[in-house]
Amino acid sequence: MITAEALVKSYGSKVAVDAIDFTVEPGQVTGFLGPNGAGKSTTMRMIVGLDRPTSGRVEVNGRRYQEHSAPLREVGVLLDAKAANKGRSAYKHLLSIAATHGIGAARVREVIGLAGLDSVAGKRVGGFSLGMGQRLGIATALLGDPATIILDEPVNGLDPEGVRWVRTLMRGLAAEGRTVLLSSHLMSEMAQTADRLIVIGRGKVLADDSIDKIIAGATHSGTRVRTTERERLMAVVSRPGVVVSVLADGALEITGLTAEQVAVRASQAGVVLHEITSTSGSLEEAYIALTAGEVEYRSSATAGTGAQR
Ligand SMILES: Nc1ncnc2c1ncn2[C@@H]1O[C@H](COP(=O)(O)OP(=O)(O)OP(=O)(O)O)[C@@H](O)[C@H]1O
Protein backbone atom coordinates (compact mmCIF):
# COMPACT_ATOMS: atom_id res chain seq x y z
CA MET A 1 0.00 0.00 0.00
CA ILE A 2 1.17 3.53 -0.76
CA THR A 3 -0.09 6.45 1.32
CA ALA A 4 0.58 10.12 0.71
CA GLU A 5 -0.37 12.76 3.24
CA ALA A 6 -0.24 16.49 2.51
CA LEU A 7 2.62 15.72 0.13
CA VAL A 8 4.32 18.80 -1.30
CA LYS A 9 7.26 19.24 -3.66
CA SER A 10 8.42 22.68 -4.69
CA TYR A 11 11.27 23.58 -7.00
CA GLY A 12 11.99 27.18 -6.05
CA SER A 13 8.71 29.02 -6.57
CA LYS A 14 7.33 26.21 -8.73
CA VAL A 15 4.96 23.95 -6.76
CA ALA A 16 5.14 20.62 -8.66
CA VAL A 17 3.09 18.64 -6.12
CA ASP A 18 0.62 20.67 -4.08
CA ALA A 19 -0.41 19.05 -0.78
CA ILE A 20 -1.85 15.84 -2.17
CA ASP A 21 -3.38 12.98 -0.21
CA PHE A 22 -4.03 9.56 -1.71
CA THR A 23 -3.93 5.86 -0.96
CA VAL A 24 -2.96 3.19 -3.47
CA GLU A 25 -4.50 -0.08 -2.28
CA PRO A 26 -3.15 -3.60 -2.76
CA GLY A 27 -4.96 -6.10 -4.97
CA GLN A 28 -5.80 -3.68 -7.74
CA VAL A 29 -4.20 -1.68 -10.51
CA THR A 30 -4.29 2.05 -9.87
CA GLY A 31 -3.75 4.33 -12.82
CA PHE A 32 -1.97 7.64 -12.32
CA LEU A 33 -3.05 10.18 -14.92
CA GLY A 34 -2.51 13.83 -15.62
CA PRO A 35 -1.35 16.21 -18.33
CA ASN A 36 2.34 16.79 -18.98
CA GLY A 37 3.87 18.58 -16.03
CA ALA A 38 1.01 17.63 -13.65
CA GLY A 39 3.43 16.16 -11.12
CA LYS A 40 3.17 12.41 -11.73
CA SER A 41 6.89 11.68 -12.11
CA THR A 42 7.74 13.94 -9.18
CA THR A 43 5.24 12.07 -7.00
CA MET A 44 6.59 8.69 -8.13
CA ARG A 45 10.15 9.85 -7.46
CA MET A 46 9.17 10.88 -3.93
CA ILE A 47 7.50 7.50 -3.32
CA VAL A 48 10.80 5.73 -4.03
CA GLY A 49 13.02 8.24 -2.23
CA LEU A 50 14.61 9.79 -5.35
CA ASP A 51 13.18 13.19 -4.43
CA ARG A 52 12.67 14.49 -0.93
CA PRO A 53 9.25 16.00 -0.16
CA THR A 54 9.30 19.71 0.67
CA SER A 55 6.68 18.82 3.28
CA GLY A 56 4.22 16.03 4.02
CA ARG A 57 4.85 12.30 3.85
CA VAL A 58 4.64 9.41 1.49
CA GLU A 59 4.98 5.84 2.72
CA VAL A 60 5.07 2.37 1.25
CA ASN A 61 3.61 -0.28 3.54
CA GLY A 62 3.76 2.05 6.52
CA ARG A 63 7.35 3.24 6.10
CA ARG A 64 9.22 5.74 4.01
CA TYR A 65 11.09 4.03 1.18
CA GLN A 66 14.49 4.78 2.75
CA GLU A 67 13.41 3.11 5.99
CA HIS A 68 12.92 -0.30 4.36
CA SER A 69 15.84 -2.67 4.94
CA ALA A 70 15.38 -4.37 1.54
CA PRO A 71 13.67 -1.70 -0.59
CA LEU A 72 14.00 -3.62 -3.88
CA ARG A 73 12.00 -6.46 -2.36
CA GLU A 74 9.42 -3.98 -1.14
CA VAL A 75 9.01 -1.73 -4.20
CA GLY A 76 9.83 -2.39 -7.84
CA VAL A 77 10.01 0.71 -9.97
CA LEU A 78 10.34 1.70 -13.61
CA LEU A 79 10.89 5.42 -13.91
CA ASP A 80 13.33 5.80 -16.77
CA ALA A 81 13.68 2.83 -19.09
CA LYS A 82 16.89 4.29 -20.59
CA ALA A 83 18.72 4.16 -17.25
CA ALA A 84 20.47 0.81 -17.93
CA ASN A 85 24.24 0.69 -18.56
CA LYS A 86 24.41 0.53 -22.37
CA GLY A 87 27.67 -1.43 -22.60
CA ARG A 88 26.39 -4.40 -20.59
CA SER A 89 24.24 -7.28 -21.69
CA ALA A 90 20.70 -7.39 -20.31
CA TYR A 91 21.66 -10.44 -18.23
CA LYS A 92 24.77 -8.75 -16.76
CA HIS A 93 22.80 -5.57 -16.09
CA LEU A 94 20.15 -7.47 -14.12
CA LEU A 95 22.77 -9.64 -12.43
CA SER A 96 24.71 -6.61 -11.17
CA ILE A 97 21.59 -5.07 -9.63
CA ALA A 98 20.57 -8.44 -8.18
CA ALA A 99 24.03 -8.98 -6.64
CA THR A 100 23.97 -5.68 -4.75
CA HIS A 101 20.57 -6.58 -3.26
CA GLY A 102 21.27 -10.17 -2.30
CA ILE A 103 19.12 -11.58 -5.12
CA GLY A 104 20.30 -14.79 -6.82
CA ALA A 105 20.97 -15.55 -10.51
CA ALA A 106 17.94 -17.85 -10.61
CA ARG A 107 15.63 -14.87 -10.08
CA VAL A 108 17.50 -12.97 -12.83
CA ARG A 109 16.78 -15.79 -15.28
CA GLU A 110 13.19 -15.89 -14.08
CA VAL A 111 12.51 -12.18 -14.75
CA ILE A 112 14.26 -12.43 -18.14
CA GLY A 113 11.78 -15.16 -19.05
CA LEU A 114 8.89 -13.20 -17.58
CA ALA A 115 9.80 -10.15 -19.66
CA GLY A 116 10.19 -12.17 -22.86
CA LEU A 117 13.89 -11.28 -23.15
CA ASP A 118 15.35 -14.82 -23.37
CA SER A 119 16.54 -14.44 -26.96
CA VAL A 120 18.29 -11.09 -26.34
CA ALA A 121 19.54 -11.57 -22.76
CA GLY A 122 23.17 -11.80 -23.97
CA LYS A 123 22.95 -8.73 -26.21
CA ARG A 124 24.24 -5.26 -25.29
CA VAL A 125 21.55 -3.03 -23.83
CA GLY A 126 22.83 -0.18 -26.03
CA GLY A 127 21.46 -1.96 -29.09
CA PHE A 128 18.00 -2.45 -27.60
CA SER A 129 14.91 -0.99 -29.23
CA LEU A 130 12.64 1.25 -27.14
CA GLY A 131 10.30 -1.68 -26.54
CA MET A 132 13.09 -4.05 -25.47
CA GLY A 133 14.38 -1.32 -23.13
CA GLN A 134 10.90 -1.08 -21.60
CA ARG A 135 10.80 -4.85 -21.10
CA LEU A 136 14.23 -4.71 -19.44
CA GLY A 137 13.03 -1.86 -17.19
CA ILE A 138 10.00 -3.92 -16.17
CA ALA A 139 12.21 -6.98 -15.58
CA THR A 140 14.39 -4.81 -13.31
CA ALA A 141 11.32 -3.61 -11.40
CA LEU A 142 10.25 -7.21 -10.79
CA LEU A 143 13.69 -8.44 -9.72
CA GLY A 144 13.04 -8.27 -5.98
CA ASP A 145 9.60 -9.94 -6.33
CA PRO A 146 8.18 -6.77 -4.75
CA ALA A 147 4.79 -6.33 -3.09
CA THR A 148 4.46 -2.88 -4.67
CA ILE A 149 5.14 -2.08 -8.32
CA ILE A 150 5.37 1.46 -9.69
CA LEU A 151 5.69 1.90 -13.43
CA ASP A 152 5.92 5.27 -15.21
CA GLU A 153 4.69 4.92 -18.81
CA PRO A 154 5.47 1.18 -19.06
CA VAL A 155 3.83 0.70 -22.48
CA ASN A 156 5.73 3.55 -24.08
CA GLY A 157 7.31 2.16 -27.26
CA LEU A 158 5.77 -1.29 -26.96
CA ASP A 159 4.06 -2.96 -29.91
CA PRO A 160 0.46 -4.23 -29.48
CA GLU A 161 1.68 -7.63 -28.28
CA GLY A 162 3.92 -5.88 -25.73
CA VAL A 163 1.09 -3.62 -24.59
CA ARG A 164 -1.11 -6.67 -24.04
CA TRP A 165 1.74 -8.38 -22.18
CA VAL A 166 2.07 -5.41 -19.77
CA ARG A 167 -1.70 -5.38 -19.24
CA THR A 168 -1.85 -9.11 -18.46
CA LEU A 169 1.21 -8.87 -16.24
CA MET A 170 -0.16 -5.92 -14.24
CA ARG A 171 -3.56 -7.55 -13.80
CA GLY A 172 -1.85 -10.76 -12.70
CA LEU A 173 0.35 -8.94 -10.16
CA ALA A 174 -2.68 -7.16 -8.72
CA ALA A 175 -4.60 -10.45 -8.57
CA GLU A 176 -1.75 -11.83 -6.44
CA GLY A 177 -2.54 -9.07 -3.94
CA ARG A 178 0.24 -6.69 -4.93
CA THR A 179 -0.07 -2.91 -5.12
CA VAL A 180 0.31 -1.68 -8.69
CA LEU A 181 0.63 2.01 -9.61
CA LEU A 182 0.85 2.79 -13.28
CA SER A 183 1.06 6.00 -15.28
CA SER A 184 0.16 6.24 -18.95
CA HIS A 185 -1.16 8.79 -21.40
CA LEU A 186 -2.96 6.04 -23.33
CA MET A 187 -6.53 6.28 -22.10
CA SER A 188 -7.90 3.20 -23.88
CA GLU A 189 -5.09 1.14 -22.40
CA MET A 190 -5.65 2.59 -18.94
CA ALA A 191 -9.37 1.84 -19.20
CA GLN A 192 -8.56 -1.81 -19.86
CA THR A 193 -5.81 -2.20 -17.27
CA ALA A 194 -6.70 -0.13 -14.22
CA ASP A 195 -9.41 -0.61 -11.59
CA ARG A 196 -9.03 2.81 -10.04
CA LEU A 197 -7.58 6.11 -11.14
CA ILE A 198 -5.90 9.02 -9.48
CA VAL A 199 -6.04 12.00 -11.83
CA ILE A 200 -3.82 14.96 -11.05
CA GLY A 201 -3.44 18.40 -12.59
CA ARG A 202 -1.25 21.31 -11.48
CA GLY A 203 0.02 19.15 -8.65
CA LYS A 204 -3.47 18.60 -7.16
CA VAL A 205 -5.73 15.54 -7.11
CA LEU A 206 -8.62 16.14 -9.55
CA ALA A 207 -10.25 12.73 -9.15
CA ASP A 208 -9.59 9.58 -7.13
CA ASP A 209 -12.15 6.85 -7.76
CA SER A 210 -13.05 3.73 -9.73
CA ILE A 211 -12.92 4.16 -13.51
CA ASP A 212 -16.69 3.67 -13.79
CA LYS A 213 -17.43 6.40 -11.25
CA ILE A 214 -14.95 8.80 -12.84
CA ILE A 215 -16.55 8.27 -16.26
CA ALA A 216 -20.07 8.58 -14.85
CA GLY A 217 -19.18 11.75 -12.95
CA ALA A 218 -17.36 13.54 -15.75
CA THR A 219 -19.27 12.53 -18.87
CA HIS A 220 -22.81 12.52 -20.11
CA SER A 221 -24.57 9.21 -19.47
CA GLY A 222 -28.07 8.11 -20.31
CA THR A 223 -30.28 5.35 -21.65
CA ARG A 224 -30.87 4.82 -25.35
CA VAL A 225 -34.24 3.29 -26.18
CA ARG A 226 -36.03 2.32 -29.39
CA THR A 227 -39.77 1.77 -29.46
CA THR A 228 -42.65 2.31 -31.86
CA GLU A 229 -44.62 3.84 -28.95
CA ARG A 230 -42.47 6.91 -28.34
CA GLU A 231 -45.21 9.19 -26.98
CA ARG A 232 -46.45 6.55 -24.53
CA LEU A 233 -42.94 5.87 -23.30
CA MET A 234 -42.27 9.58 -22.87
CA ALA A 235 -45.41 9.87 -20.73
CA VAL A 236 -44.46 6.82 -18.68
CA VAL A 237 -40.96 8.06 -17.78
CA SER A 238 -41.95 11.70 -17.35
CA ARG A 239 -41.06 13.16 -13.95
CA PRO A 240 -39.01 16.11 -12.69
CA GLY A 241 -35.31 15.68 -13.52
CA VAL A 242 -35.92 13.29 -16.42
CA VAL A 243 -35.00 14.60 -19.86
CA VAL A 244 -36.00 12.76 -23.03
CA SER A 245 -34.52 13.69 -26.39
CA VAL A 246 -35.16 12.24 -29.82
CA LEU A 247 -31.91 11.15 -31.50
CA ALA A 248 -31.19 11.49 -35.24
CA ASP A 249 -32.00 7.82 -35.89
CA GLY A 250 -35.38 8.09 -34.16
CA ALA A 251 -34.28 6.43 -30.90
CA LEU A 252 -34.86 8.20 -27.59
CA GLU A 253 -32.19 9.17 -25.12
CA ILE A 254 -33.37 9.39 -21.53
CA THR A 255 -31.32 10.97 -18.75
CA GLY A 256 -32.29 11.07 -15.09
CA LEU A 257 -33.31 7.41 -14.88
CA THR A 258 -31.21 4.27 -15.00
CA ALA A 259 -31.73 1.73 -17.80
CA GLU A 260 -33.33 -0.59 -15.22
CA GLN A 261 -35.83 2.09 -14.15
CA VAL A 262 -36.73 2.81 -17.78
CA ALA A 263 -37.18 -0.92 -18.49
CA VAL A 264 -39.39 -1.45 -15.43
CA ARG A 265 -41.63 1.53 -16.22
CA ALA A 266 -41.96 0.51 -19.87
CA SER A 267 -42.79 -3.05 -18.87
CA GLN A 268 -45.40 -1.95 -16.29
CA ALA A 269 -47.08 0.21 -18.93
CA GLY A 270 -46.89 -2.54 -21.55
CA VAL A 271 -44.67 -0.46 -23.87
CA VAL A 272 -42.61 -2.76 -26.08
CA LEU A 273 -38.92 -1.81 -26.32
CA HIS A 274 -36.90 -2.87 -29.36
CA GLU A 275 -33.61 -1.71 -27.89
CA ILE A 276 -32.42 -0.44 -24.51
CA THR A 277 -28.78 0.43 -23.87
CA SER A 278 -26.94 2.31 -21.16
CA THR A 279 -24.74 4.92 -22.75
CA SER A 280 -21.79 6.59 -21.11
CA GLY A 281 -18.77 8.49 -22.22
CA SER A 282 -15.27 7.11 -22.61
CA LEU A 283 -12.40 7.49 -20.19
CA GLU A 284 -10.79 9.81 -22.72
CA GLU A 285 -13.83 12.11 -22.63
CA ALA A 286 -13.86 12.02 -18.83
CA TYR A 287 -10.13 12.76 -18.68
CA ILE A 288 -10.42 15.68 -21.10
CA ALA A 289 -13.36 17.10 -19.11
CA LEU A 290 -11.50 16.72 -15.80
CA THR A 291 -8.27 18.27 -17.03
CA ALA A 292 -9.81 20.90 -19.33
CA GLY A 293 -8.42 23.71 -17.17
CA GLU A 294 -4.90 22.35 -17.53
CA VAL A 295 -4.46 22.98 -21.25
CA GLU A 296 -3.90 26.68 -20.80
CA TYR A 297 -1.68 26.00 -17.82
CA ARG A 298 0.41 23.61 -19.91
CA SER A 299 1.24 26.11 -22.63
CA SER A 300 1.89 28.99 -20.24
CA ALA A 301 4.03 26.76 -18.02
CA THR A 302 6.15 25.76 -21.00
CA ALA A 303 6.67 29.38 -21.89
CA GLY A 304 7.46 30.17 -18.26
CA THR A 305 10.09 27.47 -18.02
CA GLY A 306 11.78 28.75 -21.15
CA ALA A 307 11.89 32.30 -19.82
CA GLN A 308 13.47 31.19 -16.55
CA ARG A 309 16.38 29.37 -18.13
N1 LIG B 1 14.13 19.07 -11.11
C2 LIG B 1 13.20 19.97 -11.38
N3 LIG B 1 13.44 21.28 -11.28
C4 LIG B 1 12.49 22.20 -11.55
N5 LIG B 1 11.23 21.90 -11.92
C6 LIG B 1 10.91 20.61 -12.03
C7 LIG B 1 11.87 19.57 -11.77
N8 LIG B 1 11.25 18.38 -11.96
C9 LIG B 1 9.98 18.66 -12.33
N10 LIG B 1 9.78 19.99 -12.37
C11 LIG B 1 8.52 20.67 -12.72
O12 LIG B 1 7.51 20.15 -11.90
C13 LIG B 1 6.30 19.98 -12.64
C14 LIG B 1 5.86 18.54 -12.56
O15 LIG B 1 6.73 17.74 -13.36
P16 LIG B 1 6.57 16.17 -13.51
O17 LIG B 1 7.72 15.68 -14.34
O18 LIG B 1 6.39 15.55 -12.18
O19 LIG B 1 5.21 16.05 -14.33
P20 LIG B 1 4.57 14.77 -15.02
O21 LIG B 1 3.14 14.76 -14.61
O22 LIG B 1 5.37 13.56 -14.73
O23 LIG B 1 4.67 15.15 -16.56
P24 LIG B 1 4.88 14.18 -17.86
O25 LIG B 1 3.55 13.61 -18.20
O26 LIG B 1 5.32 15.19 -18.90
O27 LIG B 1 5.94 13.19 -17.53
C28 LIG B 1 6.59 20.47 -14.04
O29 LIG B 1 6.15 21.81 -14.15
C30 LIG B 1 8.09 20.39 -14.15
O31 LIG B 1 8.58 21.36 -15.04
pLDDT in tens, 130-141: 889 999 999 999
CA 18 – ligand 1 centroid, Å: 12
Confidence check: pLDDT of 3 > 80: yes
CATH topology assigned to domain 2-216: Rossmann fold (3.40.50)
Confidence check: pLDDT of 170 > 90: yes
**Ligand 1 atom 30: residue of nearest CA:** 37
Nearest to 68 by CA among 24, 15, 2, 126: 2
CA 232 – ligand 1 centroid, Å: 57
pLDDT at 82: 66
**Ligand 1 atom 5: residue of nearest CA:** 11
Q: How confident is the model at residue 272 (pLDDT cuts 50, 70, 90)?
A: very high
pLDDT at 83: 65
Pocket test for ligand 1, best of 15, 32, 40, 43 (most atoms within 8 A of CB): 40
Confidence check: pLDDT of 308 > 50: no
Average pLDDT value for residue range 44-70: 94
Boundaries of every domain in the chain:
2-216, 222-279
pLDDT at 84: 65
Helix axes 211-218, 283-290, angle to 10 degrees: 60
pLDDT at 303: 39
CATH of domain 222-279: 3.30.70
Q: How confident is the model at residue 87 (pLDDT cuts 50, 70, 90)?
A: confident
Specify the higher pLDDT residue, 296 or 163. 163
pLDDT in tens, 236-252: 999 999 999 999 999 99
pLDDT at 165: 93
Pocket of ligand 1 (CB under 6 A): 11, 14, 16, 34, 36-42, 301, 305
CA 141 – ligand 1 centroid, Å: 22
Q: How confident is the model at residue 259 (pLDDT cuts 50, 70, 90)?
A: very high
Specify the higher pLDDT residue, 307 or 228. 228
pLDDT at 164: 94
pLDDT at 296: 41
Rg (CA), the chain: 24
CA 38 – ligand 1 centroid, Å: 7
pLDDT at 309: 33
Cβ neighbours, 10 Å, residue 239: 9
Average pLDDT value for residue range 209-219: 91
**Ligand 1 atom 29: residue of nearest CA:** 37
Which atom of ligand 1 is least distant from the CA of 9?
A: 12
d(CA 215, CA 126): 41
Looking from the CA of 213 toward its CB, the CA atoms found within 13 Å total 9
ipTM of the complex: 0.96
